[in-house]
Amino acid sequence: MDRNILIVYYSRSANTEKIAQLIQQKIGGTLCEIEPELAYPASYNAVVEQAKKEIQAGFRPELKTKIEHIESYDTVFVGSPNWWSTIAPPIATFLEGYDLSGKTVVPFCTHGGGGAGRVERDIVKLCPQSTMMPGLAIYGSGGGNAESQVSAWLQELGFVER
Ligand SMILES: Cc1cc2nc3c(=O)[nH]c(=O)nc-3n(C[C@H](O)[C@H](O)[C@H](O)COP(=O)(O)O)c2cc1C
């Protein structure tokens, strides 16, 4: 099937970005980095504390990124780091702010040992009218195995590599 693919991701320290780029290299599509208006702190401890408060409060940061013609995509990859077992708040803002109903949503995340946690379930909650495909969870940047993990997953889902 010929799909019109959008690959949306948020990444503070480039792990999720690396996976997003690998997906695009393999199957094409438009890469779109979600950036909040206010960047998160560079300090790990500071961002961990801030993220905890934001997630507990259900805070939705304003986004700098505006996506044109979301209606023209039928398949949307959604990538987030695992933050406190869920999606990073900028991804929650994206999912609430754009209408993904009727589209296929393909989640992926990177993590520090906790796997996907509630990432996939929380994505489903924010786009309940989308068809979800099984996601990919990668430890850190995936190291030397990142490419083969991404490839195996895409093949399983039936995406044909270029
Ligand atoms: C605020 C914050 C919270 C995190 N919470 C978790 C967690 O609950 N479980 C986990 O496995 N990793 C956690 N991590 C680690 C990140 O998921 C991991 O480093 C990820 O690959 C970062 O992706 P990025 O480089 O795309 O930002 C957390 C990192 C940050 C900054």
Map out the domains of the chain as residue ranges: 5-157
Which two three-digit tokens encode residue 94? 């994206």
Q: Is the CB of 103 under 6 A from ligand 1?
A: no
The model's pTM = 0.98
| Mutational test site, ligand 1, from 11, 84, 136, 141, max ligand atoms within 8 Å of CB | 84
Q: How many other C-beta atoms lie within 10 A of the C-beta of residue 36?
A: 18
Query: Residues 128-158: pLDDT tens digits?
Result: 999 999 999 999 999 999 999 999 999 999 9
Q: How confident is the model at residue 1 (pLDDT cuts 50, 70, 90)?
A: low
Q: Whose CA is nearest to atom 31 of ligand 1?
A: 48
Q: Whose CA is nearest to atom 9 of ligand 1?
A: 114
Confidence at residue 162, expressed as pLDDT on a 0 to 100 scale: 82
- In eight-state DSSP terms, residue 63 is B
Query: Residues 83-120: pLDDT tens digits?
Result: 999 999 999 999 999 999 999 999 999 999 999 999 99
Residue 67 burial (C-beta neighbours within 10 Å; 0-12, 13-18, 19+): middle
Mean pLDDT of the chain: 97
CA dihedral 96, 65, 106, 145 (to 10 degrees): -140
Confidence at residue 25, expressed as pLDDT on a 0 to 100 scale: 97
- Beta carbons of 62 and 93 less than 8 angstroms apart: yes
Residue 72 burial (C-beta neighbours within 10 Å; 0-12, 13-18, 19+): exposed
Ligand 1 atom, smallest distance to 141 CA: 21
- Residue 81 C-alpha to ligand 1 middle, in angstroms? 5
Confidence at residue 88, expressed as pLDDT on a 0 to 100 scale: 98
- Residue 40 C-alpha to ligand 1 middle, in angstroms? 13
| Mutational test site, ligand 1, from 15, 18, 82, max ligand atoms within 8 Å of CB | 82
Could you identify the residue written with the tokens 């199957």?
Answer: 27
Please tell me the distance from the alpha carbon of residue 16 to that of residue 35, in angstroms, as a whole number: 13
Query: Residues 50-87: pLDDT tens digits?
Result: 999 999 999 999 999 999 999 999 999 999 999 999 99
CATH of span 5-157: 3.40.50.360
